[in-house]
Amino acid sequence: MLSRKGIIPEEYVLTRLAEDPAEPRYRARERRARFVSKKGNCNVAHKNIREQGRFLQDVFTTLVDLKWPHTLLIFTMSFLCSWLLFAMAWWLIAFAHGDLAPSEGTAEPCVTSIHSFSSAFLFSIEVQVTIGFGGRMVTEECPLAILILIVQNIVGLMINAIMLGCIFMKTAQAHRRAETLIFSKHAVIALRHGRLCFMLRVGDLRKSMIISATIHMQVVRKTTSPEGEVVPLHQVDIPMENGVGGNSIFLVAPLIIYHVIDANSPLYDLAPSDLHHHQDLEIIVILEGVVETTGITTQARTSYLADEILWGQRFVPIVAEEDGRYSVDYSKFGNTIKVPTPLCTARQLDEDHSLLEALTLASARGPLRKRSLAMAKAKPKFSISPDSLS
């Protein structure tokens, strides 16, 4: 039933049904913890922070960083507490002036139509949100009431500015725009211009552009210094190449960003066999730019572990010209095809150029052999009989 609804793939359901309960089950090897998830979230937990007061020094940023339920709770409680606080002030003024139980011949009240705490609470709401139903009003009898009126208006404006600004910033946060900036699920390593290159594909689903878009890449791995110091997250910047040149990209259509694996690359000694056993390798890709419609700087991140890098594969083309304009087929965004690639490190390829020459010769013979076989199959066969020779 779940497979019909698309919740669980059918292949998985059939596999589970075919399992033999008597057979022993082996636990899969535990995967390396990511430093950055595929969605761009940093997998870092901050513990034992003693100076918690630093967060209160920047209250606005703290409110923006809170989750939505906490923000809405603080938004509601800030208004309720201010209404109750000033309702108590209005009730005390009315009580001190004798307006709660007026008698005949008494002076004019400080605030008209306040006879209980409920009416004082309603008047506090009317003042702070400037409703003004017309039944209650401040008179000239009490200067203290005029002062409380001014203070409550100022406090109400400050609460409105802070809370509404906080909600606006939460709805317009930069990571919202990053939801439509996509990366390929896998990265590939193949030959390009005679050099081994690490390649990935990036695209933007929206028509509004990312201005001044730049892309950076880092290799994060566990290393040990010559002095014996263990660095659990050693970050190394590596250059990225694209058709424009440099780190700036013009992200109108999906682009293939590549890094040439040369002598200065941390991937110089990476072999195909290392992709299945190199558990300490993680490559982080960061795309940053300015949103065209809002002017807010946004950043999209992803990462690739060693087993998410495909050796000897290339991305298929997804941009085609149709009806006088270019069309992008996002259904093939992450599709790859196998291509001839040497099964050696970039260092070995640089030291022994015969590997590249042999691969080039083998790839050139492949199409010629297929063409000769096709011609042989298409060539008609003639039979000569003895009668035709006489």
| pLDDT tens readout for residues 239-266 | 776 555 556 788 888 999 899 998 888 8
Please tell me the predicted confidence (pLDDT) of residue 157: 94
Least confident stretch, 72-76, 141-145, 149-153, 166-170: 166-170
What are the pLDDT digits (tens) for 195-221?
A: 899 999 999 998 888 888 888 899 988
Q: Does domain 54-172 have CATH number 1.10.287.70?
A: yes
- pTM value is 0.68
Report d(CA 128, CA 135) in Å as an integer: 16
- pLDDT class for 311, splitting at 50, 70, 90? very high
The tokens for 48 are 């034992």
Kindly list the distances between the CA atom of residue 204 and the CA atoms of 174, 235, 327, in Å, as whole numbers in the listed order. 15, 27, 14
Residues 240 and 256 sit within 8 Å (Cβ to Cβ):
no
Please tell me the predicted confidence (pLDDT) of residue 390: 41
Please tell me the predicted confidence (pLDDT) of residue 387: 46
Report d(CA 339, CA 363) in Å as an integer: 9
What letter does residue 227 receive in the DSSP assignment? T
- pLDDT class for 102, splitting at 50, 70, 90? low
Question: What is the pLDDT of the chain when averaged over all its residues?
Answer: 79
The tokens for 135 are 């039944």
Please tell me the predicted confidence (pLDDT) of residue 186: 93
Does residue 11 or residue 366 have the better pLDDT? 366
Exposure b/e, 313-345, CB count within 10 A at least 16 = b: bbbeebeeeeeeeeeeeeeebbebeeeebbeeb
- pLDDT class for 173, splitting at 50, 70, 90? confident
Residues whose CB is less than 8 angstroms from the CB of residue 342 and which lie 6 or more positions away in sequence, other chains included: 191, 196, 349, 355, 356, 359
Please tell me the predicted confidence (pLDDT) of residue 366: 53
- pLDDT class for 278, splitting at 50, 70, 90? low
Please tell me the predicted confidence (pLDDT) of residue 370: 47
**Averaged pLDDT for residues 344-349:** 88
Please tell me the predicted confidence (pLDDT) of residue 155: 94
Least confident stretch, 18-22, 209-213, 229-233: 18-22
Kindly list the distances between the CA atom of residue 72 and the CA atoms of 37, 58, 105, 165, 175, in Å, as whole numbers in the listed order. 28, 19, 49, 13, 20
- pLDDT class for 377, splitting at 50, 70, 90? low
Percent over 70 (pLDDT), the chain: 79
Please tell me the predicted confidence (pLDDT) of residue 104: 60
- pLDDT class for 150, splitting at 50, 70, 90? very high
Q: Does domain 177-360 have CATH number 3.90.1150.10?
A: no
Please tell me the predicted confidence (pLDDT) of residue 356: 72
Residue 61 confidence (pLDDT) above 90:
no
Q: Which H or E run includes 358?
A: helix 354-378
- pLDDT class for 28, splitting at 50, 70, 90? very low
Residues 206 and 300 sit within 8 Å (Cβ to Cβ):
no
CB atoms within 10 A of CB 271: 15
Residue 3 confidence (pLDDT) above 50:
no
Residue 59 confidence (pLDDT) above 50:
yes
> 3-class DSSP state for residue 290?
strand
Domain boundaries in the chain?
A: 54-172, 177-360
